[in-house]
Amino acid sequence: MNRALSALIKRFSEVGFSKGRVIPWSCPVPSFGNLFKAKVATLGLNPSNREFVDRSGSELVGGARRFHTLGSLGLSRWSDAKPRHTDLIWDSCRTYFSRNPYDAWFKQLDHLIGETTASYYGASEGACHLDLIPYATACKWTGLSHGQRAFLFSVAGDTLGLLLRDSSIQLLVLNGRSVVLNFERVAGVELDKQVMKGWELRRSLQPDVAGIAYRGAIRHFSGVPLRRKLLVIGFNHNIQSSFGVTREVRASIRSWIGGTAGRMS
């Protein structure tokens, strides 16, 4: 996988890459956790800028650092990166959850996959997190224009397929409607949908938001053959940001994920 990571790093030097609003000194993040031991992976859109900066926008340093940057690797530009630098980046990905993970975001997802018996945390390394785009951007995904999102998919849209192909992932869990829609578009599939009783989000002045479960299986992703059938499931609520996701809704989603994983084995 060093070849794939080297290709992601090389793209920083390509003309026009800056129009994707990628943080130019941040490394690509192919995975959060040990991709090659995990059986379950959650999926998001792209790494948060908070993986690299604090609330004031300053680079995380010392014990607060989560991933490598040009500065931490002693590089002035990414075109100078050598194999030893890609090894260091991969190691920071593999050991992410044993160092300084962004728990405010990941603890909630880890709870949801708890009934699969996999976890991001601990020695088992049974779960990891992946993103559709492995680059952190200066703003949230919703702050990017349609053209900027399309550009990022054009330069890195096949990365997830390459990672899944060479991994041991058996179950991929999509976190939120935006992730589901973008996954379907890039994968060229339409997942089965089911409205789930007990997942609705109550609204006092507006109609309730229905809860929807998604399920399907893929053998290819963005033209990359996976060499196996991969089970894909998801839910429309973004657990970290959807307003009104109650404890009861989380518990129901958790139980559904666990039951689906149980039927897979």
Q: Domain extents for the chain?
A: 2-264
Residue 145 pLDDT grade (very low, low, confident, very high; cuts 50, 70, 90):
very high
Residue 1 pLDDT grade (very low, low, confident, very high; cuts 50, 70, 90):
low
Q: Which CATH class is domain 2-264?
A: alpha beta
For 180-238, list the strands marked E by DSSP. 192-195, 212-221, 224-235
Contacts of 43 (CB under 8 A, 6+ apart): 129, 130, 131, 132, 160, 172, 173, 174, 175, 179, 183, 234
At residue 100, does pLDDT exceed 60?
Answer: yes
pLDDT digits (tens, 9 = 90+) for 224-257: 999 999 999 999 998 887 677 899 999 999 999 9
The Cα 68–Cα 113 span in angstroms is 28
Residue 265 pLDDT grade (very low, low, confident, very high; cuts 50, 70, 90):
low
Name the helix (H) or strand (E) containing 73: helix 70-73
Q: How far is CA 69 from CA 23, 97, 205, in A?
A: 10, 18, 46
The Cα 103–Cα 109 span in angstroms is 10
pTM (2 d.p.): 0.95
pLDDT at 264: 59
Q: Which of 213, 256, 255 is nearest to 236 (CA)?
A: 213
Helix axes 2-10, 83-94, angle to 10 degrees: 110
pLDDT at 134: 96
pLDDT at 242: 64
Token pair belonging to 14: 């390509």
